[in-house]
């Protein structure tokens, strides 16, 4: 048997619950909410598409939006080290909430840490 890609191991249902739990937290976070739209429905929809392909599933994001170029797409927003930390904290809490555990979670989260660091485009205020 071939090892399933992480997307298959996690499953679409759990991934979608994770993204919804994540944006629920983002929308309430004092450091993140100000740079996100009030209505996060469309953001969550795109993130589900992106994470599907990020985890080795079908390229849903690219099919609709073209090359991800995630760092470039984040340049209009001030992504500080503090905001990257907040983003990751919301994700970790969302993983707790939906019960994503074990090596699958560890590997997914470790990758997100690297991607989040890569998105930083603004030094901390006052530095």
3-class DSSP state of 33 = helix
Do 37 and 77 meet the contact criterion of CB atoms below 8 Å apart? no
x/- string (CB under 6 A) for ligand HEM, residues 27-66?
Answer: -----x--xxx----xx--xx--x---x----------x-
Binding mask 5-34 for ligand HEM (x = CB under 6 A): ---------------------------x--
Which residues does 61 contact at the CB level (< 8 Å), separation at least 6? 46, 49, 50, 52, 53, 68
Q: Name the nearest CA neighbour of 10 among 65, 48, 61.
A: 48
Interacting residues toward ligand HEM by CB under 6 A: 32, 35-37, 42-43, 46-47, 50, 54, 65, 70, 73-74, 77, 79, 83-84, 87, 112, 115-116, 119
């Amino acid at each position: 048997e071939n090892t399933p890609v992480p997307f298959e191991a996690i499953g679409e249902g759990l991934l979608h619950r994770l993204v919804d739990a994540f944006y629920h937290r983002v929308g309430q976070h004092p450091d993140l909410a100000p740079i996100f739209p009030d209505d996060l429905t469309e953001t969550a929809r795109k993130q589900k598409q992106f994470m599907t392909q990020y985890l080795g599933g079908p390229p849903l994001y690219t099919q609709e939006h073209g090359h991800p170029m995630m760092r470039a797409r984040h340049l209009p927003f001030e992504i500080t080290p503090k905001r990257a930390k907040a983003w990751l904290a919301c994700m970790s809490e969302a993983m707790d909430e939906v019960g994503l555990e074990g090596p699958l979670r560890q590997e997914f989260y470790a990758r997100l840490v690297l991607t989040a660091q890569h998105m930083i485009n603004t030094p901390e205020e006052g530095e």
